[in-house]
Structure 1
């Protein structure tokens, strides 16, 4: 009988060539590569020569669009993009049709995931904070948690009523659910998708100022401090928000925050470049900010003020994005590109390796109580193999998501996932 179910041979991990031994879905040992092995000792041998190892990542902010908008994305295609993108855990937002504000919708999502991807990526639904995302009545959070939701959020429809939001945070904490908030003043140029400033003025477009985000960040931080409950801030994009979060953490407020890869590598200048001028592919909410904001976001991720990354994967049909800026929806498709973009920041010395690991592996999983792998004995055997030298061009033919809407189209990225294991089983 085989002593292990799987051995991954000759993979590179942190600069050394290793063998990874797996049994019953768990890491048994990571050892220096043996010159030879007896194949009969192992149930499966995976030759990884020339490839690098990475623990599977977690994305806490994904729009899978099903039910209701399957032409943009469905659970099958979204999880496929996640698998090829290096993600083992996916949290999906509630802005479906019908909204995920009942156990039946949550259960349907999980059933679809099990049908199409029985071995993962693992899907963890986020329930609606209020019924129908209308901001008028709290959702049945106990029912949603029992059905499988791991957090609650009103997603892109911020709750206007501060007293209701206070009650929602308190109520959610009773069930061990963290509130994830899209921080945007509900009266200040909602959803315009362009930063208010010199670029918006030059292009003649309406803009949303960074203070619209920071106002809601301040509200949420103060409520979390007052109630002594956790709050998680989605897709933080600007220096003003970072300053508030940093001071709150120094006071011991139970706040965590994410940012997205596009806020680390793109700025509002993309919208004014000759080849992309007025393109709605760069229209996102919150909007791409200034170069100064971009640098601050990177520094905040490196120093831990920003806890981790999320894609805010927001797929749309191309017919919806290839229109005038003012009528196009906000959103960028990000599952396919996130790993290569952020690994490139590590390779080029802009993002610390420990910050990368916290941002995609340990931080989000620990915050929401999900499995993660650090290649220690007993850890779940969740990892992928990637070619760090392979170059590929972002475009419809190289993306697995239905959503091809990305400002990175035509960009050459370096680093490509080749195969992915979850609990020791190959999923791609």
Structure 2
């Protein structure tokens, strides 16, 4: 039994306690029993759910592995992480899914829910064995890391996934329009003489995929929306009653293509950082409910890889440990605490069709304690992730998780 004392519920200043037993919330303000952890006046929330993280295992463990990635997730307040399948080998075999789940269970960190590839080898041509992958524990199907260029294959995948009541998530970019673009196509790319990735690459692909959803009736989740135009297309599809959801990443809200004037590949992501107008529009989508959830697209690489020039460096930013503090510090006043927490808990659960997180008695004991007031400097050297560098190094942020409980067990506790 575990009791967390001196904590607040969101929107309340009253100090309370919560008791956890056998992986479930036993109740609030009960007689203190068992192990006691002082919440130090922090705010208790359901642990966050990450629908889009690259943990790089198997085969790319120099970048990240399950131990480092799930430790980073727990430090960021996440109780559940959906890992992407673009590993080496690709997660397109039920045995790999089972092995990942089994290994993660032995770590005592954030819970792993692996995504499996939609197509064999993520080649986009032949569907993977979706029913067997689901039976092995796959959480969703996606070829993220690749774009689904073959519309017929995606249509068949949607039909098959629909029969299994599973979600397909897509990296929505038209590869032929993106071509060799390394940043947003616009005045900044022109000024820098760098090949651009146009808004149309995302918008055209999202529009195509909406029509496939209309044809099949299957659930589709659009990853890391980066443009106002693409969000309008998703909003219109939702207005038609289509079973479509979407996510936005904090880096597309807090950084813009202006950062690429530094020629630093730390800012190279796919889809790319867009304009301030796009970032502002995406934020409005969080406010009006058009965007279903926040996801980080946590994508660690080695420092040597990210020190290559912009044409050669891989895309990706790793910051799962910073997501809540970054959002709370930058946008807490606009979003409000309840909405921000919902975007990281209830929203992902609704996308997946999972039970909505709760702090009521009988609910699973996946919780996080947040210090909403204390400013701390972002120090990448202290990251649990192997990617110990970040665009936000040196910034002072509020909202740091101090304690993460997963299935009733301590997965992370801040020591300073």
TM interval, shorter chain, is over 0.9
**Greater mean deviation of Cα atoms: 375-384 or 209-218:** 375-384
**Structure 2 partner of 1:83:** 74
Which of the residues 270, 273, 289 maps onto 1:288? 273
Specify the alignment match of 1:104 in structure 2.
95
CA deviations 1:204-262 (Å, max 9, x no partner) are: 11110111001111111111112111100000011001111111111101100001011
Aligned to 1:185: 174
Query: Structure 2 vs 1, CA of residues 190 and 85 (structure 1 numbering), >3 Å: closer, same or farther?
Result: farther
Q: 1:342-388 CA distances to partner (integer Å, 9 max, x unpaired)?
A: 122443x1223333122101111232244553212221111122322
* Further displaced range: 350-359 or 197-206: 350-359
**Equivalent residue pairs, number:** 410
- Which residue matches 1:20? 18
Normalising to structure 1: TM-score of the pair?
Answer: 0.92
Secondary structure of residue in 2 paired with 1:324: coil
Gaps of 5+ in 2: none
Q: Counterpart of 1:389 in 2: which secondary structure?
A: coil
Contiguous gaps of at least 5 residues in structure 1: 32-36
Q: 1:34 maps to which residue?
A: none
What displacement does 1:196 show? 0.3
In 1, the alpha carbon distance for the partners of 2:307 and 2:47 equals 34
Distance 1:167 1:186 in 2: 20
Aligned to 2:143: 154
Q: Are residue 411 (structure 1) and residue 395 (structure 2) matched?
A: yes
Evaluate the alpha carbon distance shift between residue 286 and residue 175 of structure 1 in structure 2; reply closer, same or farther with a 3 A threshold.
same
1:396 aligned to 380, 387, 392, which one?
Answer: 380
- Aligned match of 1:343 in 328, 332, 335? 328
Aligned to 2:40, the other structure's residue is in SS state coil
1:190/1:91 CA distance change after superposition, 3 Å: farther
1:423 partnered with 2:414: no
Separation in 2 of the partners of 1:290 and 1:48?
Answer: 40
1:384 aligned onto 2:385: no
Per the alignment, residue 92 of structure 1 pairs with: 83
Matches of residues 352-391 of structure 1 in structure 2 within 5 Å?
352-370=336-354, 372-391=356-375
Which one of the candidate residues 242, 246, 252 is aligned to 1:263? 252
Contact 2:372 2:398 in 1 (8 A): yes
- Secondary structure at the counterpart of residue 26 of structure 2: strand
Cα deviation digits, residues 124-176 of structure 1 (max 9, x gap): 11110110011111101011111110110011211211111111111111112
SS in 1 for 2:197: coil
Listed one character per residue, the Cα deviations across residues 177-207 of structure 1 (whole Å, up to 9, x for unaligned) are 1110000002123463310001111111111
Q: State the 1:312 CA deviation.
A: 0.2
**Secondary structure class of the residue paired with 1:339:** helix
2:57 alignment partner, one of 66, 72, 83: 66
1 CA distance for matches of 2:179 and 2:247?
A: 20
The residue aligned with 2:3 is 7
Compute the displacement of 1:404 (Å). Answer: 2.6
Distance 2:6 2:403 in 1: 15
Secondary structure, aligned partner of 2:316: coil
Root-mean-square deviation (CA, aligned residues, Å) is: 1.6
What corresponds to 2:301 in structure 1?
Answer: 316
Alpha-carbon distance in structure 1 between the residues aligned to 2:382 and 2:374: 13
Distance 1:106 1:411, change over 3 A: same
Q: Counterpart of 2:286?
A: 301
In structure 1, C-alpha distance between the alignment counterparts of 2:357 and 2:72, rounded to whole Å: 20
Give the distance between the partners of 2:301 and 2:28, measured in 1 at CA.
Answer: 41
SS in 2 for 1:20: strand
